[in-house]
Amino acid sequence: MSARHALLHQWPADPRDALPLALWDAPSIEAATGGRASHQFQASGVEMDSRDVRPGDLFIALKGEAMDGHKFLPAAFTKGAVAAIVDRPVDYPHVLVKDTTQALHALAHYARDRGKAVRIGVTGSVGKTGVKEAIFAALDRSSRGAAHRSVRSYNNHVGVPLSLARMPARAKYGVFEMGMNHEGEIAPLSAHVRPHVALITTIAPAHIENLGSMEAIADEKSQIFTGLMPGGTAIIPADSDYAPRMIANAKAMGVTIVTFGRSADADVRLIDAIPSANGGSLVTAQLGSGLSAARLCFTVAEPGEHWVSNALGVIAAVRAAGGDLGAAGLALAEMGGLKGRGARLEIEAAGGKALMIDESYNANPASMRATLKALGQTPALRRIAVLGSMKELGDFAPDFHRQLAEPLVKEGIDHVILVGEEMRALAGELGRRSGDALGFKPTFYHCSTPGEAIEALDAFGLTHGDTVLVKGSNSVGLGGLVSHYTSNASTRGG
């Protein structure tokens, strides 16, 4: 035997090598769901929307109040589905079960338990998706592609179990986003995931219309701790006004608590953050205290102070999950904005190019202020904001919209286009204001639809060197405005 062959025989064994390569096959689905397979097959993916099916997928025919997935079986198989989970016999390869929703849950739990993946759950009022993506990027880098995460914003009662069902048996890490609109929605999601690490990004008045108070929002977000595995870690933003409340909620679960932020007693504490040339930040953080304390210096590509805080949470989560902090620093340095959540795109303008910042997917008072501050710090000839209504604020909506006048003036935003009925309150406030100490206040225009906003932005005219922020709740539809200007755009790094 050659020396090279001898070394191969000494290669360390990994228990994951005994796990299946296929995501699902007929016997494993039968074992998970108690169903009966009509054929033998292997599936490489799981999908519930026939429009998104790819060749090799298992299609789950879910039934809702208004829609029955069984009607879309022909479309799913036309697009390449290899089998379906159904509650009635059909003329396609299938697994027959009593209830397809319960079968999805069973697949999720089976996928969760069959491997040894360390699972991280992420919730919060602002920044869930970006933080989830950053944690995934860090763990995927250090595990050489063996990390898994929920895609897009699959964070509800269907998206979370679907994301679990998509987790390969050989995954070393799984990162799952959990969202809510009403009380009682987080705990069931955490029960599905059973995370080893649970992170709350921040508490802000998102969905306050349904929850009624900030305290109720903090309590509902804290429900992510109810599903933690024994010995699990709760990661909490130390700078939040509601940190003591969340810490008390975590203590009631008997879990390890790690805090992050600028606070002097934070476990992952910001020492310094210096703006970097690309618009991000050079961050120095201290991990732990006393003789075991360590310092970590890394770059955050995403601009804005809110991303400095997000990065501390990412570092805390990666550390708690046993990941590589060096890989986490590299991932944060390379993170680009996501579509609808900070993507920076160059668009055509008179005399050259303008920058469009796409924050069109979501908005609440805290994220509006954070992104307006980031806009104010962005070098630009003129700073323009297209702001859509913030939804689900209930009786608080007029005040929260009016209060945006202050950051618009403070950050020196030159022109504002306001979209939606709720933004009428902000238009009224801007109209009443006399400006700052130097008499500055933005010019503004109020309209009802994204189409009217496009006309208003064209009428205002974009010039080389302008920066345009587009932000609003997803239902306002400002993503269409972004698409109008960026169909042939290029992404700008940093």
Domain boundaries in the chain? 18-100, 115-334, 343-487
pLDDT band at 491 (very low <50, low <70, confident <90, very high): low
Assess contact for 196 and 175: CB atoms under 8 A: no
pLDDT digits (tens, 9 = 90+) for 10-43: 656 666 666 667 899 999 999 999 999 999 999 9
CA pair distance 269, 261, nearest whole angstrom: 5
Whether 300 shows a pLDDT value over 50: the answer reads yes
User: Residue range 404-411: average pLDDT?
Assistant: 94
Q: What is the pLDDT of residue 477?
A: 95
Q: Residue by residue, what is the 3-state secondary structure of 342-359?
A: EEEEEEEEECEEEEEEEE
Whether 308 shows a pLDDT value over 70: the answer reads yes
DSSP lists the bridge partners of residue 256 as 233
Strand order across the 490-491 sheet? 443-447, 415-419, 383-388, 467-471, 352-359, 343-349, 490-491
User: Residue range 277-298: average pLDDT?
Assistant: 87
Whether 137 shows a pLDDT value over 90: the answer reads yes
Give how far Cα 367 sits from Cα of 203, 239, 317, 382, 419, Å.
11, 16, 22, 21, 17
What are phi and psi for residue 62, nearest 5 degrees? -75, 150
CATH of 343-487, one of 3.20.20.70, 3.90.190.20, 3.40.50.1100, 3.40.50.10470: 3.90.190.20
Strands (E), 91-137: 94-96, 118-123
Q: What is the pLDDT of residue 210?
A: 80
Query: Which of the 8 DSSP states describes residue 13?
Result: P
Q: What is the pLDDT of residue 481?
A: 96
Q: How is residue 326 written in tokens?
A: 């060096």
CB atoms within 10 A of CB 144: 9
Mean pLDDT is highest, among 122-136, 196-210, 329-343, for 122-136
What's the predicted TM-score (pTM) here?
A: 0.83
Whether 2 shows a pLDDT value over 70: the answer reads no
Assess contact for 485 and 458: CB atoms under 8 A: no
pLDDT band at 200 (very low <50, low <70, confident <90, very high): very high
Q: Rounded to the nearest 5 degrees, what angle is found at the Cα of 480, between the Cα atoms of 477 and 485?
A: 140
Whether 295 shows a pLDDT value over 90: the answer reads yes
Query: Which of the 8 DSSP states describes residue 17?
Result: G
Contacts of 479 (CB under 8 A, 6+ apart): 340, 358, 360, 361
pLDDT band at 494 (very low <50, low <70, confident <90, very high): very low
Q: Report the percent of the chain where pLDDT is more than 70.
A: 93
pLDDT band at 263 (very low <50, low <70, confident <90, very high): very high
Strands (E), 26-144: 36-37, 42-43, 45-47, 57-60, 83-86, 94-96, 118-123
CA pair distance 110, 24, nearest whole angstrom: 11
Whether 360 shows a pLDDT value over 70: the answer reads yes
pLDDT digits (tens, 9 = 90+) for 142-165: 999 999 999 877 899 999 999 999
Q: What is the pLDDT of residue 118?
A: 98
User: Residue range 371-383: average pLDDT?
Assistant: 92
Check residue 66 and give left, alpha or beta (phi > 0: left; psi -120 to 50: alpha).
alpha
Whether 4 shows a pLDDT value over 90: the answer reads no
Place of tokens 């697949």: 107
CA pair distance 341, 474, nearest whole angstrom: 11
CATH 3.40.50.720 fits 115-334, yes or no: no
User: Residue range 308-323: average pLDDT?
Assistant: 97
Whether 89 shows a pLDDT value over 60: the answer reads yes
Q: In whole numbers, what is the pLDDT of the chain averaged over residues?
A: 92
Q: What CATH fold (topology level) applies to the domain 18-100?
A: 3.40.1390
